[in-house]
Amino acid sequence: MIYVNEPVFNGNEKKYLNECIESGWISSEGPFVKRFEKEMASFVGRKYATACSSGSAALEMAVSALELEVGSEIILPSMTIISCAQAITKNNLKPVLVDCDLKTFNMNVCDIESKITNKTRAIMVVHIFGITVDMDPVISIAQKYNLKIIEDAAEVHGQTYKGKKCGSFGDISIFSFYPNKHITTGEGGMVLCDEKNIDKRLKSLRNLCFGDDRFVHEKIGSNFRMTNLQAAIGVGQLEYIDEIIQKKRWIGNSYNERLQGINSFSTPITSTSYCENIYWVYSIVINDENPIDAKDAMNLLKQYGIDTRPFFYPMHLQPVFSKMELFNGERYPNSEKLYSKGFYLPSGLNLTLEMIDEVVKNVKRVLL
Protein backbone atom coordinates (compact mmCIF):
# COMPACT_ATOMS: atom_id res chain seq x y z
CA MET A 1 0.00 0.00 0.00
CA ILE A 2 1.23 3.45 -0.91
CA TYR A 3 -0.31 5.53 1.88
CA VAL A 4 -1.77 8.97 1.38
CA ASN A 5 0.72 10.31 3.92
CA GLU A 6 3.58 9.09 6.09
CA PRO A 7 5.43 11.59 8.30
CA VAL A 8 9.17 12.00 7.82
CA PHE A 9 11.66 13.07 10.51
CA ASN A 10 14.97 14.08 8.95
CA GLY A 11 16.27 16.65 11.42
CA ASN A 12 16.86 17.09 15.14
CA GLU A 13 13.51 15.68 16.27
CA LYS A 14 15.00 12.64 18.03
CA LYS A 15 17.75 14.73 19.63
CA TYR A 16 15.24 17.21 21.04
CA LEU A 17 12.95 14.42 22.26
CA ASN A 18 15.87 12.88 24.11
CA GLU A 19 16.54 16.25 25.75
CA CYS A 20 12.95 16.26 27.03
CA ILE A 21 13.24 12.75 28.44
CA GLU A 22 16.66 13.27 29.99
CA SER A 23 15.62 16.55 31.62
CA GLY A 24 12.25 15.23 32.77
CA TRP A 25 10.44 18.16 31.12
CA ILE A 26 7.73 16.35 29.19
CA SER A 27 4.64 18.41 30.13
CA SER A 28 3.45 21.74 28.75
CA GLU A 29 5.76 23.52 31.22
CA GLY A 30 8.88 22.48 29.31
CA PRO A 31 11.08 24.99 27.45
CA PHE A 32 10.42 23.67 23.92
CA VAL A 33 6.83 24.96 24.02
CA LYS A 34 7.91 28.60 24.36
CA ARG A 35 10.73 28.05 21.88
CA PHE A 36 8.33 26.59 19.29
CA GLU A 37 5.92 29.49 19.81
CA LYS A 38 8.67 32.09 19.44
CA GLU A 39 10.20 30.49 16.35
CA MET A 40 6.85 29.90 14.64
CA ALA A 41 5.79 33.51 15.29
CA SER A 42 9.08 34.74 13.84
CA PHE A 43 8.75 32.46 10.81
CA VAL A 44 5.23 33.67 10.02
CA GLY A 45 5.81 37.31 10.97
CA ARG A 46 3.53 37.58 13.99
CA LYS A 47 4.22 39.05 17.43
CA TYR A 48 2.62 36.32 19.54
CA ALA A 49 1.90 32.59 19.33
CA THR A 50 0.09 30.13 21.58
CA ALA A 51 0.74 26.42 21.09
CA CYS A 52 -2.14 24.07 21.77
CA SER A 53 -3.30 20.48 21.45
CA SER A 54 -4.76 20.50 17.91
CA GLY A 55 -5.81 22.64 14.97
CA SER A 56 -9.43 22.21 16.06
CA ALA A 57 -8.54 23.51 19.52
CA ALA A 58 -6.72 26.42 17.90
CA LEU A 59 -9.86 27.37 15.95
CA GLU A 60 -12.06 27.15 19.03
CA MET A 61 -9.63 29.32 21.01
CA ALA A 62 -9.28 31.82 18.18
CA VAL A 63 -13.02 32.36 17.90
CA SER A 64 -13.42 32.57 21.68
CA ALA A 65 -10.56 35.06 22.08
CA LEU A 66 -12.30 37.60 19.84
CA GLU A 67 -15.10 37.82 22.44
CA LEU A 68 -17.94 38.30 19.95
CA GLU A 69 -21.44 38.72 21.32
CA VAL A 70 -23.67 35.62 21.42
CA GLY A 71 -25.53 35.10 18.14
CA SER A 72 -22.98 36.95 16.01
CA GLU A 73 -22.42 35.60 12.51
CA ILE A 74 -19.14 34.44 11.00
CA ILE A 75 -18.83 33.86 7.25
CA LEU A 76 -16.82 30.80 6.13
CA PRO A 77 -16.59 28.39 3.18
CA SER A 78 -18.95 25.45 2.82
CA MET A 79 -16.13 23.15 1.70
CA THR A 80 -13.84 22.85 4.71
CA ILE A 81 -13.25 20.60 7.69
CA ILE A 82 -16.01 20.60 10.30
CA SER A 83 -13.61 22.06 12.88
CA CYS A 84 -14.17 25.51 11.36
CA ALA A 85 -17.97 25.57 11.70
CA GLN A 86 -17.77 23.66 14.98
CA ALA A 87 -15.53 26.33 16.51
CA ILE A 88 -18.23 28.87 15.69
CA THR A 89 -21.21 26.91 17.06
CA LYS A 90 -19.34 25.92 20.22
CA ASN A 91 -18.90 29.61 20.97
CA ASN A 92 -22.66 30.22 20.59
CA LEU A 93 -22.20 31.99 17.27
CA LYS A 94 -23.78 31.35 13.86
CA PRO A 95 -21.84 30.06 10.82
CA VAL A 96 -22.86 31.57 7.48
CA LEU A 97 -21.64 29.82 4.34
CA VAL A 98 -20.33 30.79 0.92
CA ASP A 99 -19.59 28.39 -1.92
CA CYS A 100 -16.09 27.60 -3.17
CA ASP A 101 -14.35 28.33 -6.45
CA LEU A 102 -13.99 25.28 -8.72
CA LYS A 103 -10.43 26.13 -9.73
CA THR A 104 -8.80 27.05 -6.42
CA PHE A 105 -11.24 25.15 -4.11
CA ASN A 106 -11.13 28.18 -1.80
CA MET A 107 -14.10 30.29 -0.74
CA ASN A 108 -15.51 32.44 -3.52
CA VAL A 109 -14.65 35.87 -2.19
CA CYS A 110 -17.12 37.48 -4.61
CA ASP A 111 -19.97 35.93 -2.58
CA ILE A 112 -18.89 37.25 0.82
CA GLU A 113 -20.43 40.71 0.71
CA SER A 114 -23.90 39.38 -0.18
CA LYS A 115 -23.88 37.31 3.05
CA ILE A 116 -23.16 40.23 5.38
CA THR A 117 -25.95 41.24 7.77
CA ASN A 118 -26.17 43.49 10.79
CA LYS A 119 -25.09 40.48 12.86
CA THR A 120 -21.94 39.69 10.87
CA ARG A 121 -18.81 40.15 12.95
CA ALA A 122 -16.06 38.10 11.25
CA ILE A 123 -14.87 36.27 8.15
CA MET A 124 -13.09 32.94 8.55
CA VAL A 125 -10.82 32.31 5.56
CA VAL A 126 -9.52 28.77 5.03
CA HIS A 127 -6.64 28.16 2.63
CA ILE A 128 -7.44 24.84 0.93
CA PHE A 129 -5.03 22.16 -0.34
CA GLY A 130 -2.07 24.47 -1.12
CA ILE A 131 -3.57 27.50 -2.91
CA THR A 132 -4.40 30.57 -0.82
CA VAL A 133 -7.60 32.52 -0.53
CA ASP A 134 -7.40 35.80 -2.46
CA MET A 135 -6.84 37.93 0.63
CA ASP A 136 -6.89 41.51 -0.72
CA PRO A 137 -10.66 41.52 -1.44
CA VAL A 138 -11.33 39.87 1.93
CA ILE A 139 -9.29 42.49 3.77
CA SER A 140 -11.07 45.26 1.85
CA ILE A 141 -14.51 43.87 2.78
CA ALA A 142 -13.47 43.41 6.42
CA GLN A 143 -12.31 47.02 6.61
CA LYS A 144 -15.46 48.32 4.90
CA TYR A 145 -17.79 46.56 7.37
CA ASN A 146 -15.50 46.58 10.43
CA LEU A 147 -15.23 42.78 10.55
CA LYS A 148 -12.60 40.56 12.15
CA ILE A 149 -10.61 38.11 10.03
CA ILE A 150 -9.83 34.61 11.31
CA GLU A 151 -7.24 32.94 9.08
CA ASP A 152 -7.08 29.14 8.98
CA ALA A 153 -3.60 28.41 7.61
CA ALA A 154 -3.58 24.75 8.70
CA GLU A 155 -2.71 23.45 5.22
CA VAL A 156 -0.25 26.08 4.03
CA HIS A 157 2.81 26.09 6.29
CA GLY A 158 5.35 28.28 4.53
CA GLN A 159 2.99 29.38 1.74
CA THR A 160 2.86 33.05 0.78
CA TYR A 161 0.21 35.38 -0.61
CA LYS A 162 1.84 38.08 -2.75
CA GLY A 163 5.09 37.38 -0.93
CA LYS A 164 3.67 37.61 2.58
CA LYS A 165 3.47 34.49 4.76
CA CYS A 166 0.12 32.83 5.27
CA GLY A 167 -0.80 32.98 8.93
CA SER A 168 0.16 36.66 9.11
CA PHE A 169 -3.16 38.04 7.86
CA GLY A 170 -6.11 39.38 9.76
CA ASP A 171 -6.75 39.66 13.46
CA ILE A 172 -5.93 36.07 14.39
CA SER A 173 -4.63 32.98 12.59
CA ILE A 174 -4.19 29.29 13.26
CA PHE A 175 -2.05 26.33 12.21
CA SER A 176 -2.50 22.58 12.62
CA PHE A 177 0.37 20.15 13.20
CA TYR A 178 -1.49 16.92 12.44
CA PRO A 179 0.72 14.19 10.86
CA ASN A 180 -0.31 15.09 7.31
CA LYS A 181 0.78 18.73 7.64
CA HIS A 182 4.12 20.12 6.42
CA ILE A 183 5.18 20.46 10.06
CA THR A 184 3.82 17.84 12.44
CA THR A 185 3.90 17.33 16.18
CA GLY A 186 1.69 14.22 15.99
CA GLU A 187 -1.27 16.22 17.26
CA GLY A 188 -1.07 19.94 17.86
CA GLY A 189 -1.95 23.44 16.78
CA MET A 190 -1.08 27.08 17.25
CA VAL A 191 -2.88 30.42 17.37
CA LEU A 192 -1.05 33.58 16.32
CA CYS A 193 -1.89 37.27 16.64
CA ASP A 194 -0.36 40.73 17.00
CA GLU A 195 -2.40 42.05 19.94
CA LYS A 196 -1.11 41.46 23.46
CA ASN A 197 -4.59 41.35 25.02
CA ILE A 198 -5.74 38.66 22.59
CA ASP A 199 -2.58 36.66 23.24
CA LYS A 200 -3.21 36.89 26.99
CA ARG A 201 -6.75 35.55 26.50
CA LEU A 202 -5.47 32.70 24.34
CA LYS A 203 -2.94 31.55 26.89
CA SER A 204 -5.64 31.61 29.55
CA LEU A 205 -8.18 29.74 27.41
CA ARG A 206 -5.77 26.87 26.66
CA ASN A 207 -4.98 26.46 30.37
CA LEU A 208 -8.42 26.19 32.02
CA CYS A 209 -8.49 29.95 32.66
CA PHE A 210 -6.49 29.63 35.86
CA GLY A 211 -6.47 32.94 37.71
CA ASP A 212 -3.87 34.66 39.87
CA ASP A 213 -5.22 32.51 42.67
CA ARG A 214 -4.59 29.27 40.79
CA PHE A 215 -7.78 27.36 41.50
CA VAL A 216 -10.14 30.35 41.41
CA HIS A 217 -11.72 30.68 37.95
CA GLU A 218 -13.55 33.70 36.51
CA LYS A 219 -14.09 32.11 33.07
CA ILE A 220 -14.40 28.66 31.50
CA GLY A 221 -11.38 27.48 29.53
CA SER A 222 -10.09 24.11 28.34
CA ASN A 223 -7.05 21.92 28.72
CA PHE A 224 -5.72 22.56 25.24
CA ARG A 225 -2.05 22.54 26.22
CA MET A 226 0.75 21.24 23.98
CA THR A 227 3.35 19.03 25.64
CA ASN A 228 7.08 19.72 25.62
CA LEU A 229 7.53 16.44 23.71
CA GLN A 230 5.26 17.63 20.90
CA ALA A 231 6.88 21.06 20.77
CA ALA A 232 10.34 19.46 20.57
CA ILE A 233 9.29 17.65 17.39
CA GLY A 234 7.83 20.88 16.01
CA VAL A 235 11.05 22.80 16.63
CA GLY A 236 13.01 20.09 14.85
CA GLN A 237 10.66 20.15 11.86
CA LEU A 238 10.56 23.93 11.56
CA GLU A 239 14.35 23.97 11.20
CA TYR A 240 14.09 22.42 7.73
CA ILE A 241 10.73 23.78 6.55
CA ASP A 242 12.33 25.09 3.33
CA GLU A 243 13.37 21.54 2.38
CA ILE A 244 9.87 20.29 3.20
CA ILE A 245 8.28 22.88 0.89
CA GLN A 246 10.77 22.05 -1.85
CA LYS A 247 9.89 18.35 -1.59
CA LYS A 248 6.15 19.09 -1.67
CA ARG A 249 6.53 21.13 -4.84
CA TRP A 250 8.70 18.40 -6.36
CA ILE A 251 5.92 15.88 -5.66
CA GLY A 252 3.32 18.18 -7.25
CA ASN A 253 5.45 18.85 -10.32
CA SER A 254 6.26 15.14 -10.70
CA TYR A 255 2.56 14.30 -10.78
CA ASN A 256 1.90 17.19 -13.19
CA GLU A 257 4.49 15.93 -15.66
CA ARG A 258 2.98 12.44 -15.66
CA LEU A 259 -0.69 13.44 -15.78
CA GLN A 260 -0.63 16.30 -18.27
CA GLY A 261 -2.85 16.10 -21.31
CA ILE A 262 -5.45 13.81 -19.75
CA ASN A 263 -9.06 14.90 -20.35
CA SER A 264 -10.99 12.55 -18.04
CA PHE A 265 -10.03 14.51 -14.90
CA SER A 266 -8.41 17.79 -13.92
CA THR A 267 -5.26 18.28 -11.89
CA PRO A 268 -4.50 21.17 -9.49
CA ILE A 269 -3.76 24.60 -10.87
CA THR A 270 -0.07 25.34 -10.57
CA SER A 271 -0.40 29.02 -9.66
CA THR A 272 -2.59 32.09 -9.49
CA SER A 273 -1.74 35.78 -9.83
CA TYR A 274 -1.05 35.85 -6.08
CA CYS A 275 0.55 32.50 -5.17
CA GLU A 276 2.29 29.39 -6.42
CA ASN A 277 0.78 26.05 -5.42
CA ILE A 278 2.54 24.54 -2.41
CA TYR A 279 0.84 21.14 -2.99
CA TRP A 280 -0.14 20.32 0.56
CA VAL A 281 -1.96 17.49 -1.18
CA TYR A 282 -2.23 16.51 -4.84
CA SER A 283 -5.90 16.57 -5.78
CA ILE A 284 -7.76 15.46 -8.88
CA VAL A 285 -11.35 16.17 -9.92
CA ILE A 286 -13.09 13.72 -12.24
CA ASN A 287 -14.79 15.41 -15.19
CA ASP A 288 -18.58 15.39 -15.42
CA GLU A 289 -18.42 13.39 -18.65
CA ASN A 290 -16.67 10.57 -16.81
CA PRO A 291 -19.44 8.44 -15.20
CA ILE A 292 -17.33 7.22 -12.27
CA ASP A 293 -17.55 9.19 -9.03
CA ALA A 294 -14.85 9.81 -6.43
CA LYS A 295 -15.94 7.05 -4.05
CA ASP A 296 -15.88 4.36 -6.73
CA ALA A 297 -12.51 5.55 -8.04
CA MET A 298 -11.04 5.57 -4.55
CA ASN A 299 -12.31 2.04 -3.84
CA LEU A 300 -10.73 0.75 -7.04
CA LEU A 301 -7.43 2.46 -6.31
CA LYS A 302 -7.38 0.92 -2.84
CA GLN A 303 -7.71 -2.51 -4.40
CA TYR A 304 -4.57 -1.70 -6.40
CA GLY A 305 -2.66 -0.60 -3.31
CA ILE A 306 -3.13 3.18 -3.63
CA ASP A 307 -4.41 5.05 -0.58
CA THR A 308 -6.49 8.21 -1.18
CA ARG A 309 -8.70 10.68 0.69
CA PRO A 310 -11.97 12.40 -0.29
CA PHE A 311 -12.54 16.13 -0.38
CA PHE A 312 -14.37 17.69 2.57
CA TYR A 313 -18.06 16.94 2.92
CA PRO A 314 -19.87 20.28 2.57
CA MET A 315 -20.96 21.95 5.78
CA HIS A 316 -24.53 22.55 4.58
CA LEU A 317 -25.00 18.79 4.12
CA GLN A 318 -23.63 17.75 7.51
CA PRO A 319 -26.30 15.80 9.47
CA VAL A 320 -25.25 17.36 12.76
CA PHE A 321 -25.95 20.86 11.44
CA SER A 322 -29.28 19.77 9.97
CA LYS A 323 -30.27 18.65 13.48
CA MET A 324 -29.30 22.10 14.70
CA GLU A 325 -31.51 23.61 11.93
CA LEU A 326 -28.58 25.31 10.27
CA PHE A 327 -28.34 25.86 6.49
CA ASN A 328 -31.87 24.54 5.83
CA GLY A 329 -32.59 24.56 2.10
CA GLU A 330 -29.22 26.06 1.20
CA ARG A 331 -27.33 24.79 -1.84
CA TYR A 332 -23.69 25.21 -2.68
CA PRO A 333 -23.27 23.33 -5.99
CA ASN A 334 -19.52 23.77 -6.36
CA SER A 335 -18.85 22.29 -2.92
CA GLU A 336 -21.23 19.42 -3.68
CA LYS A 337 -19.57 18.72 -7.02
CA LEU A 338 -16.07 18.72 -5.59
CA TYR A 339 -17.06 16.27 -2.87
CA SER A 340 -18.73 13.99 -5.43
CA LYS A 341 -15.95 14.09 -7.98
CA GLY A 342 -12.78 15.04 -6.10
CA PHE A 343 -10.15 13.21 -4.06
CA TYR A 344 -6.44 13.43 -3.44
CA LEU A 345 -3.55 11.07 -4.10
CA PRO A 346 -0.62 10.04 -1.90
CA SER A 347 1.18 13.30 -1.13
CA GLY A 348 3.45 12.54 1.83
CA LEU A 349 7.08 13.56 2.14
CA ASN A 350 8.13 9.90 1.98
CA LEU A 351 7.18 9.60 -1.71
CA THR A 352 9.80 8.50 -4.20
CA LEU A 353 9.66 8.76 -7.98
CA GLU A 354 9.00 5.02 -8.18
CA MET A 355 6.02 5.39 -5.84
CA ILE A 356 4.66 8.32 -7.84
CA ASP A 357 4.99 6.26 -11.05
CA GLU A 358 3.03 3.42 -9.42
CA VAL A 359 0.29 5.82 -8.31
CA VAL A 360 0.04 7.38 -11.79
CA LYS A 361 -0.10 3.98 -13.48
CA ASN A 362 -3.09 2.97 -11.40
CA VAL A 363 -4.85 6.33 -11.67
CA LYS A 364 -4.74 5.93 -15.44
CA ARG A 365 -5.91 2.35 -15.08
CA VAL A 366 -8.99 3.48 -13.16
CA LEU A 367 -9.91 6.79 -14.81
CA LEU A 368 -8.95 6.48 -18.48
Tens of pLDDT, residue by residue over 291-336, are 999 999 999 999 999 999 999 999 999 999 999 999 999 999 999 9
- What pLDDT, on a 0 to 100 scale, did the predictor assign at position 51? 98
| Residues paired with residue 79 on neighbouring β-strands, in sequence order | none
Q: Where are the domains of the chain?
A: 13-238, 241-367
Q: Could you say which of 3.30.1490.190, 3.40.640.10, 3.40.50.11540, 2.60.120.460 is the CATH number of the domain covering 13-238?
A: 3.40.640.10
Contact between residue 359 and residue 1 where contact means Cβ atoms under 8 Å apart = no
Confidence of residue 170 (pLDDT cuts 50, 70, 90): confident
Confidence of residue 214 (pLDDT cuts 50, 70, 90): confident
Confidence of residue 211 (pLDDT cuts 50, 70, 90): confident
Q: What is the per-residue pLDDT across 224-258, written as a single tens digit (0 to 9) for each?
A: 999 999 999 999 999 999 999 999 999 999 999 99
Confidence of residue 212 (pLDDT cuts 50, 70, 90): confident
For 126, counting Cβ atoms within 10 Å of its Cβ (0-12 exposed, 13-18 middle, 19+ buried), the class is buried
Tell me if 13-238 shares its fold with 241-367. Answer: no
Query: What is the residue-wise DSSP string for 97-138?
Result: EEPBPTTT-SB-GGGTGGG--TTEEEEEEE-BTTB---HHHH
For 347, counting Cβ atoms within 10 Å of its Cβ (0-12 exposed, 13-18 middle, 19+ buried), the class is buried
Rounded Cα gap, residues 133 and 125, in angstroms: 7
pLDDT at residue 46 greater than cutoff 90: yes
Q: What is the per-residue pLDDT across 102-119, written as a single tens digit (0 to 9) for each?
A: 999 999 999 999 999 999
Q: In sequence order, what are the residues at sequence separation of 6 or more whose Cβ sits closer than 8 angstroms to the Cβ of residue 56?
A: 83, 86, 87, 176, 189
Q: Is the pTM of this model over 0.75?
A: yes
Q: Check: CATH 3.90.1150.10 for 241-367?
A: yes
| Mean pLDDT taken over the chain | 97
- What pLDDT, on a 0 to 100 scale, did the predictor assign at position 302? 98
Rounded Cα gap, residues 150 and 142, in angstroms: 11
Mean pLDDT, to the nearest integer, of 54-80?
98
Q: What is the per-residue pLDDT across 12-25, written as a single tens digit (0 to 9) for each?
A: 999 999 999 999 99
